[in-house]
Structure 1
């Protein structure tokens, strides 16, 4: 991450990353199939899907998804007194690179689509009901758009406001109280 932020994402090669890490380029590719994978994290998708699956099925979709996004941000950043899963300056650097680098923005869009599908799957909506599937996809997409806005604002503000709080605020601006835990 230091190489990318210091020299620019596009100028750093995987060989540069491997040299800085003291490993071969093949070792880097074994763990990170593409250069974009060095910056974008897939770990939150699993955490979010698990939180959605554990949410009460009787809650509105946007509350299930929105609550999971806020809770996952708390797990990731150490909100609510928990030990952070990721170093906050590292996460801020990743977000800044993602928003400023076209290749990473495109890859982020792909990962957002995969996250949306994972969340819809975790909601366990009746797959025989196309309207229910469409509603789940729309609600999830709107929640993810609110989260993206919060992530961008968080990175621009250098993490001064807690990420879970910003996501909750973005969800409240989008849905009112329907997307947050009561």
Structure 2
């Protein structure tokens, strides 16, 4: 899958996608400025210039604004497209690496602010792991659909996603000048080196 195809699949086109993106943008700005718990759906919709009915058409809850992730189905497709003869962990790792390499680097602080918001809020911090589980389920389904055993698929997906989440939270809490994409690729490289060491590869 090319970078252009990935970006098109992720972002989508049309008014609905634009409205959803606007709601997320306005919501994040409010969350960062006045706090997640202090921000209401009414304030978000007022800032976005839409009705509350429109909000709930896109997001079932306020939490969903933070965790909605259009990348998941595409990531699962890219993982499934990796060489079936490779170990499951390597297929997941290479699939995630390809996905991160195809997504443009965020041009502002929005992503870091979002991750910082999650890390600093107990319920949201717990929610990121639940969100990971949904991503994990999609990856497991993609792997088992191409012949990988369920147990191996589950362990591989959980290991890679857990490592990326740890790297992501560390990136948000300890700024070191590294771009997000670089941090994710570095984390996946660590997992690749560990896997090769366990298998005795050179």
* 1:23 shift after superposition: 1.3
Listed one character per residue, the Cα deviations across residues 66-106 of structure 1 (whole Å, up to 9, x for unaligned) are 12222222333x2xxxxx5x655222222111111122223
RMSD of aligned alpha carbons: 2.4
Who is 2:100 aligned against?
73
Who is 1:26 aligned against?
53
Among candidates 66, 88, 100, match of residue 39 of structure 1: 66
Who is 2:179 aligned against?
162
* Correspondence 1:114 to 2:141: no
* 1:48 shift after superposition: 1.0
* Correspondence 1:60 to 2:118: no
Secondary structure of the corresponding residue to residue 182 of structure 2: helix
Who is 1:143 aligned against?
160
The verdict on how the C-alpha distance between 1:126 and 1:27 changes in structure 2, with shifts beyond 3 A counting, is closer
The verdict on how the C-alpha distance between 1:91 and 1:103 changes in structure 2, with shifts beyond 3 A counting, is same
Who is 1:124 aligned against?
144
Gaps in structure 2 of 5+ consecutive residues: 1-27, 197-202
Listed one character per residue, the Cα deviations across residues 107-164 of structure 1 (whole Å, up to 9, x for unaligned) are 222211111110011113578x9xx311211111111111011111222244831333
Deviant stretches of 4+, over 6 Å: none
User: Contact conserved, 2:88 with 2:153, CA < 8 A, in 1?
Assistant: yes
Among candidates 115, 118, 141, match of residue 95 of structure 1: 115
Q: Distance in 1 between matches of 2:127 and 2:78?
A: 24
Q: Distance in 2 between matches of 1:9 and 1:32?
A: 15
- Number of positions where the alignment pairs a residue of Structure 1 with one of Structure 2: 170
Which stretch of structure 1 is more off in the superposition, 87-96 or 48-57?
87-96
User: Contact conserved, 1:70 with 1:165, CA < 8 A, in 2?
Assistant: no
